Amino acid sequence: MATYELEHPAIEDVTLTDVLFALSDPARLEIVREVADGPLDMAACGATNPDLPKSTKSHLMKVLREAGIVRNVPNGRGRLVSLRKDELDRRFPGLLDSVLRS
Amino acid sequence: MATYELEHPAIEDVTLTDVLFALSDPARLEIVREVADGPLDMAACGATNPDLPKSTKSHLMKVLREAGIVRNVPNGRGRLVSLRKDELDRRFPGLLDSVLRS
DNA sequence: AGCTTGGTTCGAAAAGATTAGAACCTTCAC
DNA sequence: GTGAAGGTTCTAATCTTTTCGAACCAAGCT
């Protein structure tokens, strides 16, 4: 089931409170930090939690994706996860940088 | 019971995720915006929600206070609420400004 | 074809957050 | 004093999130 596109919100529909909420969980924030350096195979994300069940990880990603923070596209057998950095920087200037710097 | 001091976390104990969580609720974010222009009587906060029960408002404040975002000191019959801006700016540079600007 | 890998979805249980009423405490005004 | 205004705490109900197993699917390999 890594073949079809998942839904991503348009950047203008992304709300500040949803973004803040998605970033307010340590596990999700960790994923965002990992992806900040460049796109990552989903399998490579959350390397710090190797024992995390797949359904749990999938759900964490879903929250990040639906909040508009992350893009998640099919990539062969798996998926590629990337930060929607440019879009977020335009919508909420300085926010992502200050969070990632903290 | 507006006479005694409430507990406030030391700024170095304040966590990023707690701050983000506290800001991720629209009602709480609204209070933060109101207080950003200067200290406010608690009674004056949440003027946009005049029908809000007092216990609910008290709880919203508690979350903001325990997250380290707001200071809440006795002031006569009521309480005075202020943003811990300088402290937060030192701990999480740029964060508050980018949130308030958004 | 068949197996393995990577990932989604559904469902249910457990944990946590929110909302609000009730009881209570202080301070101020009269 | 008495009363009203401003807030906290407790408790209970409700709602939302989180967590994870189970079932399933698609792609790639042999």
Residue A82 C-alpha, separation from nearest chain B C-alpha, in angstroms? 21
**SS3 assignment, position A97:** helix
Q: Provide the pLDDT confidence category of residue B3 given band limits of 50, 70 and 90.
A: confident
Closest to B44 (Cα-Cα) out of B79, B72, B84, B77:
B79
Residues, chain B = 102
Any residues with CB less than 8 A from the CB of B4 and at least 6 apart, and which? B74
Count of CB contacts below 8 A, A vs B? 62
pLDDT of residue B4: 87
- pLDDT tens track for B32-77: 999 999 999 999 987 777 789 999 999 999 999 999 999 999 998 9
pTM of the model: 0.94
Residue B73 C-alpha, separation from nearest chain A C-alpha, in angstroms? 27
pLDDT of residue B1: 56
- pLDDT exceeds cutoff 60 at B84: yes
- pLDDT exceeds cutoff 80 at A74: yes
Is B102 within 8 Å of chain A by CB?
A: yes
**SS3 assignment, position B68:** coil
d(CA A27, CA A22): 10
Task: Determine the distance from the C-alpha atom of residue B57 to the mean position of all C-alpha atoms in its chain, rounded to a whole number.
Answer: 11
pLDDT of residue B50: 75
Q: How far is CA A19 from CA A8, A36, A70, A88, B79, in A?
A: 13, 15, 10, 10, 31
Torsion of CA A86, B97, A32, A66, to 10 degrees: -70
- pLDDT tens track for A12-65: 999 999 999 999 999 999 999 999 999 999 999 877 777 899 999 999 999 999
Range list of H helices, A36-94: 54-66, 85-91
Is B97 within 8 Å of chain A by CB?
A: yes
Q: How far is the CA of B19 from the C1' of D4 (A)?
A: 36
Is B35 within 8 Å of chain A by CB?
A: no
Which phi and psi angles does B71 have, rounded to 5°? -110, 145
Per DSSP, B87 falls in state: H
Q: Which residue is nearest to nucleotide C26 (CA to C1')?
A: B1
pLDDT of residue B40: 95
- The three-point CA angle B51-B39-B90 to 5° equals 120
In this structure, the protein residues whose CB atom falls closer than 7 angstroms to any atom of nucleic acid strand C are: A 1-2, 6, 41-43, 54-55, 57-59, 61-62, 72, 77-79; B 1-3, 21, 25, 27, 52-56, 59-60, 63, 76-77
Q: Which residue is associated with the tokens 């596209």?
A: A73
For range B4-23, the mean pLDDT: 96
Q: Which residue is nearest to nucleotide C25 (CA to C1')?
A: B1
- The three-point CA angle B52-A14-B83 to 5° equals 45
For range A64-78, the mean pLDDT: 96
Partners of A83 in the β-ladder = A70
Closest to A6 (Cα-Cα) out of A42, A47, A36:
A42
Residues of B in contact with A25 (CB under 8 A): 17
